[in-house]
Amino acid sequence: MVLEEAIPKFSQWIGPAFLWYLFAASLVAVIAAAAAWLVQSAVYGPLQAGDRVYRGILSGVQDLAGMAPRRIWALARLAIQEALRRNVLVVLALFAILVLFAGWFLDPTSVNPGKLYLGFILTATNFLVCMVTLILSVFSLPADFKAKAIQTVTTKPVRTGEVVLGRMLGFSVVGTALLAVMGAVGWGFVVRSVQHGHELTAEDVIEIRSEDGTVTGYEGRTSLDRGHRHRIELSADGSGRTDHIQGHRHEIEAVTSGGKTGYRLTPPLGLLEARKPLRGTLRFLDRQGQASAKGISVGAEWSYRQYIEGGKLAAAIWTFEGVNAADFPDGLPLEMLVRVFRTHKGNIEKGIAGSVRVRNPTSGLQSDPRYFTAKEFTIDEWKVPLALSTTTTDGGTKQVDLYRDIVSDGKVEIVLQCLEPGQYFGVAQADFYIRSGNGSFAWNYLKSCLGIWFSMLLVTALGVMFSTFLAGPVALLATLSVVLVGLFREFIQRLFESQVTGDSTIAPGGGPIESFYRLVTQTSITLDLEQSPFVAAMKGIDTVLMAPMRLGAAIFPSLSSLGTGDFVSSGFDIPFDLILAHSAETFGYLLAFFIIGALCLRAREVAS
């Protein structure tokens, strides 16, 4: 799973986030007031315009203070009735058809079917719920204006804030109901699709005997189910486990009944789970063994993973904190995802060898390496034992204790190296972690639906806000534009940084004008343009154009960042700190959209 930035503690995040929110809200308020004054000045002159803007804001605030729950709920109920009248429930039939098609076309023999099914269901649910509430929210108020029904509402003691909040609330209730149904159906579909068992009988296994003829274990293959079968290795008592394929394995135990030995396999383990990782911080050593800020870039434009060279002193080192015997009494359950970049083919069947060691960050005492072969797209597991061996300076071997000798003040280092010259290991900070526990998958799935719910609330609120002053189709376009800018928020921020600093490696390709120029002249984004007055002018204009885009990207919500489906489909527990941060972010945006919508509707002539 890609995790570009570490998830901060909510208590540390909320302070700076709140200050930034206040700053952004103040900025928007000042710009809006100035724009209103300018427009009014053109008609009434500067003094009267100032008075009008002041009175407008004052009466708007009074309106907000005078809102009544009963009126808000009445308008919300009306929105729900309107949605039902528009046959909104048809979308459930559409979802059912999608699920049926998914059942036919999604490949149950894929590398990780759990991830595939979950990814599909969560994406489809997110898209459908958001689209439905978006369409409902952008066309509702304009339809009321067109039919003039709004006149019979606003001639009652109804505050504009109530009209806006009622709509937001009503369509959110509709979206929530749709999400609940789709979420439940999706859950059932995923669980039923990936759950399976295998048969294993005494005839399927063969004994493994030692030289003296005693049975040391068994090996064999399970039955073919869901398009796959597992290799098994059992101990002499008949217990063991299958190999790890398609994102799961099964535990096996021998069962004797009526003098016959059979085997019982557990349901798949690792398919639908919620790992709770303890993550560390990553640093690199270069090929000379010197500290390096980054690993090696192997040329990919997206530099999420850094690479270390094989057969040299290059290493990737994770430092974990908060490691103690109370939490991990049996050792450290380390899980690793290592990507490979080959500069030559090598033995393609064998995989690339690497080593991993644990090290005391204070004394530098390190365990002997544990050798492994990188499995590329599969998470490798290694339980770091309590008793480790280490090589002494005189070449001897000494036993050390994990907690007494290696862990120092709760800190421990994990050192990864690639052993094959000319080959590279690629890693990101989130790729190595200590599994600190397992959350409930059901609860994790629910948390993921919560992420979709946040997105739905934002889309609904945005749609209603724009519909207070724009016609339905225009409000739809405006909402989609904001969502689109939000989706590319990080890219726009990097692009602006690249434009201002002149460092094209941050985001190659330049701003809108330069991009257009490159498109027309078919110039690659990685090629630097020749310096000329024309290019300088183009870049200058781009910098000016990028400023409002940067501002918009910083202010507009990013729906992609609210999505937590990747956590669930990759089998990671969604951190509670992240949920709290997302809920605070969503609430902040909802409040802002509500106030903007209420004030815009207040400033609008209902019957013009």
Partner 1 sequence: MAAQERSVRREHGEVIVEARNLAKTYRDFWGRSKKVALKPLDLEIRRGEIFGLLGPNGSGKTTTMKLLLGLIFPTSGEAFVFGKDATDVSKNERIGYLPEESYLYKFLDAEETLDFYGRLFDMPPDERKRRAAALIKRVGLERDRKRQLREYSKGMTRRIGVAQALINDPELVILDEPTSGLDPIGTREMKDLIIELREKGKTVIMSSHLLADVEDVCDRIAVLHQGELKELGRVDDLLRVTDVTQIRAKGLSAAATEEIREVLRRHGGEDVEIGNPRTTLEDLFLDVVRDTEARPGRRARQG
**Contact residues for partner 1, defined by CB under 8 A:** 39, 42-43, 59, 63, 66, 68, 70-71, 73-75, 77-78, 81-82, 85, 147-159, 605-608
Cβ distance to partner 1 smaller for residue 73 or 517: 73
Q: Name the minimum Å distance from CB 566 to partner 1.
A: 41
Identify the CA nearest to 553 among candidates 507, 466, 494, 485: 485
Report, in Å, the least distance between residue 47 CB and partner 1: 14
E strands, 311-376, are: 315-320, 332-336, 339-342, 353-359, 370-373
State the minimum distance, in angstroms, from the CB of residue 59 to partner 1: 7
Shortest distance, position 94 Cβ to partner 1, whole Å: 22
**Nearer Cβ to partner 1 (49/271):** 49
Per DSSP, the three-state class of 589 is helix
At 505 the three-state DSSP class reads coil
CB of 141 to partner 1, least distance (A): 13
Select 17 or 74, whichever has its Cβ closest to partner 1: 74
- Give the type of residue at 119: G
8 A C-beta contact, residue 229 and residue 198: yes
Helix count and strand count (H, E) for the chain: 15, 21
- Smallest gap from Cβ 181 to partner 1, in A, equals 22
**Contact criterion met (CB below 8 Å) for 405 and 386:** no
Instruction: Give, in degrees to the nearest 5, the angle at Cα 120 between 114 and 122.
Output: 95
Helical pair 113-147 and 90-105, crossing angle rounded to 10 deg: 160
CB closer to partner 1 out of 48 and 239: 48
- Name the DSSP letter for residue 407: -
Cβ 45 to partner 1, closest distance in Å?
12
CB of 162 to partner 1, least distance (A): 9
- Please state, in angstroms and rounded to a whole number, the distance separating the CA atoms of residues 359 and 319: 9
What is the number of alpha carbons within 13 Å of residue 509 lying toward its C-beta?
13
47/607 with CB nearer partner 1? 607
Given a contact cutoff of 8 angstroms between Cβ atoms, the answer to whether 276 and 436 are in contact is yes
Measured between alpha carbons, how far is 518 from 499 in angstroms, rounded to an integer? 15
Q: Report the alpha-carbon distance of residue 163 to residue 465 in Å, rounded.
A: 11
Tell me whether residue 63 or residue 514 sits nearer to partner 1 (CB atom): 63
Alpha carbon 490 to its chain centroid, in Å, reads: 14
Minimum distance, C-beta of residue 168 to partner 1, in the bound complex (Å): 17
Q: Residues 331, 403: contact at Cβ < 8 Å?
A: no
Nearer to partner 1, 98 or 135 (CB): 135
Tell me how many degrees the CA angle 50-56-60 measures, rounded to the nearest 5. Answer: 150
Between 336 and 478, CB nearer to partner 1: 478
Total length of the chain: 608
Which CB sits closer to partner 1, 149 or 300? 149
